[in-house]
Structure 1
Amino acid sequence: MMHADLIDQDDLRERLLALGFEVPSGASAEQACERVLMGLNESRAAALRSLVEQMLASGAVMLPAVREAIARQLLPALAEYKQSHG
């Protein structure tokens, strides 16, 4: 039997917590992404960018709500941050 990794909102939250972001328990993927973008600085943006790249490249199955939150919030915010901060 094949086992696929699954990234759901709880997994996303745990990964963000491991990086030092504060995400309340029970937060949806959308809420978690909104929360981590508050007070974004260079080191936090780099850590977040690395996490997003790793998750997207991992081949894990990502729940639609998680993928959508990343696509709608994190990717545009990280691109904007990179453009405005070099």
Structure 2
Amino acid sequence: MMHADLIDEQDLVSELRALGFEVSGNAEQACTAVVCGLNETNARALKGLVEKLYTGSATILPAVRQAIDQQLLPGLMKFKQSKAG
């Protein structure tokens, strides 16, 4: 039987911690916390993580994709717009 690579909420939280973010809880809580304290360095790292997750071969579970789409991506866009303006 084949086993697919999956990215679950714990995987996402672990990835965020590996980038230096102090997060806990589920994917949505972690993503909400991450976007509250963005600076240029960690925003770049976060963007890289999202790109890695979305271009990789692993399957992103729905709760993780939702947290990224509804928390991380809008937070990154807001940060980028605040720096441009």
Please report the TM-score for the alignment, with normalisation by the length of structure 2.
Answer: 0.91
Aligned residues: 84
- Flag as ranges the 4+ runs of structure 1 deviating above 4 A: none
Q: Which runs of 5+ in 2 are unaligned?
A: none
- For the residue of structure 1 that corresponds to 2:68, the secondary structure is helix
Please report the TM-score for the alignment, with normalisation by the length of structure 1.
Answer: 0.90
Q: How does 1:2-81 map to 2 (within 5 A)?
A: 2-24=2-24, 27-81=25-79
Q: Distance in 2 between matches of 1:13 and 1:48?
A: 12
Q: Which has the higher helix share?
A: 2
Q: Deviations over 1:12-39 (max 9, x none)?
A: 0110010000012xx1110010111121
Q: Percent identity?
A: 58
Shift of 1:2: 2.9
